[in-house]
Amino acid sequence: MTDSPSRTPRTSSRDWSEAAFDPEPHRKDLVAIVKEIEALDRVDAPALDAVLRRHPRGGTGFFSRAQIIAGFRTFEGTEGFKTSEKEFITRVRRRPVRSQSGVTPLTVLTKPFPCPGKCVYCPNDLRMPKSYLSDEPGAQRAANNKFDPYLQTWNRLAAFRATGHSTEKIELIVLGGTWSFYPESYQVWFSKRCLDAMNDFGGDVDAREEAEVSAANFDNFDDDALEGVRDGPKYNQTVVRYLREQGREGEVDAESATWDALRATQLRNEDAVCRNVGFSIETRPDYVTEEEVLRVRRLGCTKVQLGIQSLSDPVLDAIKRGHAVEDTRRAIALLRRAGFKIHAHWMPNLLGSNPKDDCLDYDRMFGDPAFRPDELKIYPCSLIETAELMSSYQDGSWRPYEHDELLDVLAHAIAATPRYCRLTRVIRDISSDDIVVGNKLTNFRELAERELTRRGGKTEEIRAREIRDIEFDPARLEVRATSYESGVGGEVFIELVTPDDHIVGFLRLALPTQKSFCDEISASALIREVHVYGGALNLGARDFGNAQHRGFGTQLVDEARKHARAAGYPELAVISAVGTRGYYRKLGFHDGDLYQHTTL
């Protein structure tokens, strides 16, 4: 047992030091740092550290990358720098991989709220939405911004820009509990305020002070409330009481907006400098209904993260998941028939399972046409002290896998993942301080991939094949189409790949055989996703060393037209994000109510 959860120091959502940094008083040092970096053959961590040590900030501390970039931008026209801003930023950027998938992902969390689930492995941190922990990086950022969607989005955009990432094509990822269990008015408001922040940030408007005045604060639970919360009902009761005290538990409060207001904000974002090009939420299979699918589509959502956890009913019963495998089948069918990308969550080492059964469960996920997700997060079960699973660990009915057992399961999973699926994560980013026993290594994916190579296996999943910053010859790209069955018809995964099978771009085309519950797409083949890899470029920019903005997206859509026409469909529809509607209009698509369409 550990002590009660310690409080994480919080800062004001406006206390973002880089935004207030003035390079001018540090001109001499910053100019020297920039010129030394320009002269380096390779900017790795040791080389950059050596430069920073030669030019300490104020003679004591060190300049951050964001401050160095700010200095470059300020003095670029007067100090004779030899590189362009783009080239310099590429050299010093800490995590270029963040935007090398073609867009810049931005994650926000919803507020703490009651959860319909009773999962035994789930932590019960009252300061967080269900299943999240206050030590997780994204959760800390959300708490610092009082879970306000505007503050989270605006401040994250500012941080991206300061560290050299593009802010013009944003994939919005909304996490936190079960989205479908939040009031509809909160869903509408939350979506609108994220888009408001994008519209404002791109237009150099800063309305954070107004947002902060009305934002809630979930960091005021006393130690008595935090101590001993080890079950969902107590979590729900305590959070409801806290929301009621703040007047934020119902649908009629400051956290609400109308559909008309959201629609107006969406229309503004279509032509905004900072556009939303993808929007995902997370929910449970048993909360996916026809009505919910249409509602999240109206919100602008294009992808759903679905917690399937296991494809074994006995395991689902043991963990008190609250739904059956059949609910997962039905949910995926509804979402796929409406064109959504399916981003599943799967958990090995659950109560009631074992390594052998986990491998069989994973094989079932891609062997059965009813599942076959487009993306996948693999989250091995971790033991958190506030979870009900502690009791099973203490009585011996559950234990964490040994290192080699977990390695076997993950190596098997990576090898068994087909080329049309992207393994987004293999280990959840949980602080080792929060894990009571079991794996605490965050680089387990790397270990599993290395073990797979040692065994003579290979991986074909998307993330391992992304082109990223690898140079390629466009003339040698090949079009590759992989056809497979889904639970509602056929799918074609169309790729542009290099001769060594690095993926430059792909398109997901659905050829449904089941009639849709959405009349608008009842007779349509459906583009569910178009993605071109390479570092995220600003809208309209052209960089011929980069995979984006070179006509590859158009080429993929033309291939989709051919496949859909050959299959006998009279129309091709696309589930577009708010910020990509203009792009599809240029390709001949016209606006419908929830989708865009072109005749074949």
Q: How many CB atoms lie within 10 A of CB 223?
A: 11
Handedness of CA 423, 537, 23, 209 (dihedral sign): negative
* Largest pairwise CA distance in the chain: 71
pLDDT score recorded for residue 334: 97
Please give the Cα distance from 566 to 507 (Å, whole number): 17
Q: Give the residue from 289, 376, 277 showing the smallest Cα distance to 335.
A: 289
CB 345, CB 294: distance < 8 Å:
no
Q: Which residue has the tokens 């993926």?
A: 503
Query: What residues are paired with 304 via a beta bridge?
Result: 281, 342
Q: Where in the chain is the domain with CATH 3.40.630.30?
A: 467-599
Please give the Cα distance from 151 to 207 (Å, whole number): 9
Handedness of CA 520, 522, 524, 528 (dihedral sign): positive
pLDDT score recorded for residue 498: 95
Q: In sequence order, what are the residues at sequence separation of 6 or more whose Cβ sits closer than 8 angstroms to the Cβ of residue 461?
A: 414, 417, 418, 419, 421, 422, 423
pLDDT score recorded for residue 239: 81
CATH number assigned to the domain with residue range 467-599, chosen from the 4 options 3.40.50.300, 3.30.450.30, 3.40.630.30, 3.30.70.60: 3.40.630.30
pLDDT score recorded for residue 248: 61
pLDDT score recorded for residue 23: 84
Report the alpha-carbon angle 235-241-242, nearest 5.
90
pLDDT score recorded for residue 568: 97
Half-sphere exposure of 84 (CA within 13 A, CB side): 4
Q: In sequence order, what are the residues at sequence separation of 6 or more whose Cβ sits closer than 8 angstroms to the Cβ of residue 50?
A: none
Find the helix packing angle between 65-75 and 27-39, rounded to 10°: 100
Q: Which residue has the tokens 């299979």?
A: 285
Spans of the chain, pLDDT less than 50: 1-18, 97-100, 251-252, 535-545, 549
